[in-house]
Amino acid sequence: MRPYRVLSIDGGGIRGIYSAVLLDGLAKRIADANGAPTERLDVGKAFDLVVGTSTGALLSTALASGVALEDVIKLYKEQATRIFSNPTPPSNLRMKFYKWIGGCLGKPANSSDALQEALLSVWGNETVAEMYQRRGISLCIPSINAETHQAWVWKTPHDTRENRLQRDNNYRLVDVCMSSAAAPLILPIHGVEKPKDAARHVNWFVDGGLWANNPIMVALVEALSFAPEDAPIEIISVSTCPPFKAPRVDSTSCNRGLMGWSGGIGMMEMALDSQSGAYDYMAKALSTSLAGRVKYVRLSDPPVSTEIASELRMDNPSEKNISALVGLAHQAIDLNISEATTGDKSKALCAQVFSNLQAVAG
């Protein structure tokens, strides 16, 4: 039986350009090796289910809806400074950092207008159900209901067996992405008017990265729930190359206040990074126990130097940071291609998944 194929993409703000360049480069290298065209590949068509959180939600929705990764990369490069117009300054620039914290006491650092404008230019008012009917690719996007403090996973209506999963049908793709990307302190809580509700009730959402920055467990559970019973499951997971950047802790630095936690951003980064590693470990353990059915691979990331790590803040839109992320992605392309061709059977899965891609329609 044909494998049920899944792509899972982490969150990480502007670092999503790393994931986009990595996936685009891998697909093009494999297409070129097969003598196929390499421009504007429809990478989303390689998968039955795409799952992504925060910036990974933007990427996943783009792939599921048939947007070429070249266009996503262009959006990151051209819109980053507008979306993150007031980025977190490095904590060693104390006066700038104090000023930034002061400016965020009563509001988030950035407006969400630029992000919404950029996403509207891609999807307009297309809804979840309209995209699924057009493409037939399942999509899951983790978020949080800010009023109930409960996880909310946006889903396409892909439960054809019982005709469930209808809750999100009439929500716009733009609002789905903004709900998952509403990082506290950085962007506002995102309000979405409930479709076809006479009372015009508004649901409020916060970044899904707070509980599923690496959404691999969402992807695995969804695949086990909805893949055809006899179908093998193949899952590829992609990070946003989070650098090891934790400062040394000693008897002095353990007494951290607002400054020591980078105005709260440091706590969020610690939570995002730690769960990404933990969920990867759990996914590997579960896929090993389900080895007769599940193949799981987490794409390898290159080592990140201390100098570059200091730049890779999730809201840093500088040309230097974007250039560093693109460079790291090209290193990752070489690394994963090399592993796939030198005996790593799990990485060879990428060559199989991306072997028959066509160009994006139109």
- How many residues comprise the chain? 362
Options 207, 273, 280, 301, the catalytic residue: 207
Per-residue pLDDT at 233: 96
Report how far residue 307's alpha carbon sits from residue 296's, in angstroms, rounded to the nearest whole number.
32
Name the band, by pLDDT with cuts 50, 70 and 90, for residue 355. Answer: confident
Q: How many CB atoms lie within 10 A of CB 288?
A: 10
Residues whose CB falls within 8 Å of the CB of residue 38, separated by 6 or more in sequence, listed in order: 28, 31, 32
Asked if pLDDT for residue 245 goes beyond 60, the answer is: no
Comparing 56-70, 209-223, 332-346, the range with the smallest average pLDDT is: 332-346
**Cβ(99)–Cβ(109) under 8 Å?**
no
Q: Which residue has the higher pLDDT, 348 or 222?
A: 222
Comparing 57-61, 204-208, 290-294, the range with the smallest average pLDDT is: 290-294
Per-residue pLDDT at 163: 62
Per-residue pLDDT at 338: 87
* β-sheet bridge partners, residue 138: 49
Name the band, by pLDDT with cuts 50, 70 and 90, for residue 161. Answer: low
Report how far residue 357's alpha carbon sits from residue 36's, in angstroms, rounded to the nearest whole number.
8
Name the band, by pLDDT with cuts 50, 70 and 90, for residue 260. Answer: low
Per-residue pLDDT at 115: 97
Give the pLDDT confidence of 204-229 residue by residue, as tens digits.
999 999 999 999 999 999 999 999 98
Name the band, by pLDDT with cuts 50, 70 and 90, for residue 172. Answer: very high
Per-residue pLDDT at 91: 64
**Cβ(52)–Cβ(59) under 8 Å?**
yes
Listed in order, strand segments (DSSP E) in 274-317 are 294-298
Per-residue pLDDT at 272: 74
* Cα dihedral 227, 229, 231, 237 sign: positive
Q: Which residue has the higher pLDDT, 229 or 180?
A: 180
Per-residue pLDDT at 113: 97
Mean pLDDT, residues 73-90: 93
Report how far residue 173's alpha carbon sits from residue 126's, in angstroms, rounded to the nearest whole number.
6
Find how far residue 328's CA is from the centre of its chain.
17
**Cβ(72)–Cβ(58) under 8 Å?**
yes
Measured between alpha carbons, how far is residue 361 from residues 43, 63, 66, 247 in Å? Answer: 12, 13, 8, 47
Asked if pLDDT for residue 152 goes beyond 70, the answer is: yes
Percentage above 70 pLDDT, the chain: 89
Options 54, 112, 138, 237, the catalytic residue: 54
Q: Does domain 4-248+256-354 have CATH number 3.65.10.10?
A: no
Name the band, by pLDDT with cuts 50, 70 and 90, for residue 179. Answer: very high
Annotated catalytic residue 54: yes
Q: Which residue has the higher pLDDT, 103 or 28?
A: 28
Decide: helix, strand or coil at residue 332: helix
Q: Which residue has the higher pLDDT, 162 or 55?
A: 55
Asked if pLDDT for residue 144 goes beyond 80, the answer is: yes
Mean pLDDT, residues 223-241: 93
